Amino acid sequence: MGSILKSDLKSQSDTRSPSPSQEKSTAALQFARQAEKLAFKSRSDDDQHATAAVEGKFVTPHDAVIETAEGGRLPAVPLKEAERLNELRERVDTGGQRSPAASSSSSSSSPSPSREGRVWPTQTSPTTLLAEKREAANSRPEESQGRLDTSTPPSHTHPLFPPLPIYGPPSFLRNLQCQSFRIFSFFLSLAFLGSIVLGSVLSSIPTVIRHTCMRLTGRNPDEERKFYAEELHRERTRKEAAERWERRLRQKKSDNDMETGEDEYPPSEGGKDLLVSDIAYYARRVGLDAEKFKVQTEDGFIISLWHLYDPKEYTPLPEEERQHRDPEVFQGQKKEGQRGSRNSSKRRYPVLLIPGLLQNAGAYCANDDDSLSFFLCKAGYDVWLGDNRCGLEPEHTMLTYSDPRMWAWNIRQMGVLDLPALISRVLYETGFEKLGLICHSQGTTETLVALARDQRPEISEHISVFCALAPAAYAGPLIKKMYFRFMRIITPGMFRIFFGIHAFIPFMMTIHSVLHPRIYGALGYKVFSYLFSWSDDRWDRGLRDRMFQFSPVYVSAESMRWWLGRDCFAKQKCILATKEDGIREEIEDHRYASGLCDGEGRADGAWYGPGVCPFAVWVAGSDDLVDGRRLLRRLENGREPHVNVVHAKVIEEYEHLDVIWALDMIDQVGKEVRDVIWKTAPEDVKVTCRIPRGVQPM
């Protein structure tokens, strides 16, 4: 009996305290399962060992991307998944035992030392961290791999930025479910789009009837347009320029002869507008040119970056030098002057322009010489244009269009990953330490999120001034429209059924490719005007079709869910504060304005910390899409004590897109942007850079 008891006690002791070799084997098995769960390909693929997940790299405390064995990058995953991968790898490396650093990470809220280059999430309570690790330890990849219902994380864990889905490597079941989502969402989203098109057509009937009646009575409805005379003048000018170009072609003059004349910027393209989605084509029509770079983000996406230049001063780089580099940002910068001074007597200060939602960088190039990008380039700046993620050409170093992981991103990834990658590449190519940043609409959202003290505030070190055009921080009254309300009331699961888990209504891009550009331009204007309640009253209508060749672009369904779904912006009405916080701040501001309180503690909820770059803000006063005035109040009423607002302007008659497309935009916005960028540029670079044309010496 005693021997049996001793044997039982020994067996229980072995169960309680496994040997180091057993612990290492268990840890290795768990690591292999977790690595397969987060891998690029499944275990059955021949080269799975090269694309297996080996580390979760925390590029910010809230963003963990997956690095594969061959050095590739996969998009961000929920933090607990990356933490579990790293913890298991640490246990394998230490012989199955948890390292002191790993142990302390479960019992302390401060960052723990770890493998070189790794950053651990901060400000996490021990109880929460322990619960997350216990939940992750209890999960098994075989239970969720390939099943989209179990791999989709809960959507109520964060009021502003809910976690993104984790889809895992391809499998038969996952591919079948993805295809089912694509089929269902195709018909449902097409029905939704059809209702929008029908609504836009019906809403335009009264205007058509009124204009028809006016023409029947001998009146011209276009004469009611504010800039009608200017539109006629510009139309004649474009027609004369096209005729001159055609005559030159017929005379078969040489290229050199064609470029001679009094024009400071002789065009190298001309004639009838081809209406294409090509920035370089429109640059050549105004005597400039453009080269296209490829930029890799820290999660492996490839983004297009355009560089405008004067062909008389600059020789474009060979194509191989314009390809994407490694994903690390703000490393290996070129020495000052290496690129910027080439072929020019004085360097140009760099500026980067980021477009809005459903647009690419061509939105800044649609108005000939009155385009903001061309104006700044001819004024003397080195102009760079960054496209949105996926844009017109979805591209990733590892993923393909059909992989749902290609589309598991929203505004946070665009801000904390895309924006630093674009800024880093511009600084690398120009040799500067800072640049001027100009953003419109969603581009301002990316930047406002990225600069926040709990996101990626260090990029402020590389921005001399942030120029926000129609800043999208607070929702306008348009969010209450019926079609937006529908997208807000359906559950996240229903949203994915309606709009899919890939690109948002990709049929729009199909229409773009098959319709005649003028038909597409007219249809695009009608639909977006109906959706966003703006008009072309202040635009050059002769160029309107050209404007819509650069929109819409590919955008993820997850990104649109962030904007319009039930959990995020549409509900909170703000990008960095909850609805409850917004109501409380409104009450406090009203009490402060009425003299009922002294305003003490107003800065306790500041979004931005010390060292944030200066802001310059242009608000469209008649903008129903976003509430720029409310952001301006926040910046000026003491809630953001660290933000230096170097310029602020409300243009009462402007609508959302007028800040980039209005006929008088150069006078209302462009010249002020030009001056503000130079005013805030570092003093040491002003000595070596040319003074922009039109800027008054200080």
Q: Looking at the annotation, which residues are catalytic?
A: 441, 623, 656
d(CA 478, CA 203): 16
Q: Which residues contact 283 (CB under 8 A, 6 or more apart)?
A: 289, 290, 308, 365, 374
Tell me the pairing of strands 289-296 and 63-68: unpaired
396 burial level (CB within 10 Å; 0-12, 13-18, 19+): buried
The Cα-based distances of 23 to 104, 141, 623 in angstroms read 19, 20, 62
Rg of the chain's alpha carbons, rounded to an integer? 28
Q: Tokens for 112?
A: 């723990």
- Indicate left, alpha or beta for 218 from its phi (over 0: left) and psi (-120 to 50: alpha): left
d(CA 422, CA 417): 9
Asked if residue 112 lies in contact with residue 102, where contact means CB atoms within 8 angstroms, the answer is yes
Q: How many CA atoms lie within 13 A of 637 on its CB side?
A: 21
d(CA 258, CA 238): 17
596 burial level (CB within 10 Å; 0-12, 13-18, 19+): exposed
DSSP-based three-state secondary structure for 621: coil
d(CA 80, CA 133): 7
The candidate with the shortest Cα–Cα distance to 290, out of 200, 198, 360, 228, is: 360
Q: Quote the DSSP letter at residue 556.
A: B
d(CA 560, CA 479): 13
- Indicate left, alpha or beta for 482 from its phi (over 0: left) and psi (-120 to 50: alpha): alpha
DSSP-based three-state secondary structure for 100: helix
d(CA 316, CA 382): 13
d(CA 192, CA 531): 12
208 burial level (CB within 10 Å; 0-12, 13-18, 19+): exposed
The amino acid present at 504, given as its one-letter code, is F
Q: Which residues of 326-352 are buried (b: 16+ CB within 10 A; e: fewer)?
A: ebebbeebeebeebbbeeeeebbbbbb
The Cα-based distances of 312 to 268, 315, 608 in angstroms read 12, 8, 42
d(CA 270, CA 206): 38
Residue 203 burial (CB count, 10 A): 12
d(CA 454, CA 646): 24
Q: Tokens for 37?
A: 């769960």
Q: How many CA atoms lie within 13 A of 225 on its CB side?
A: 21
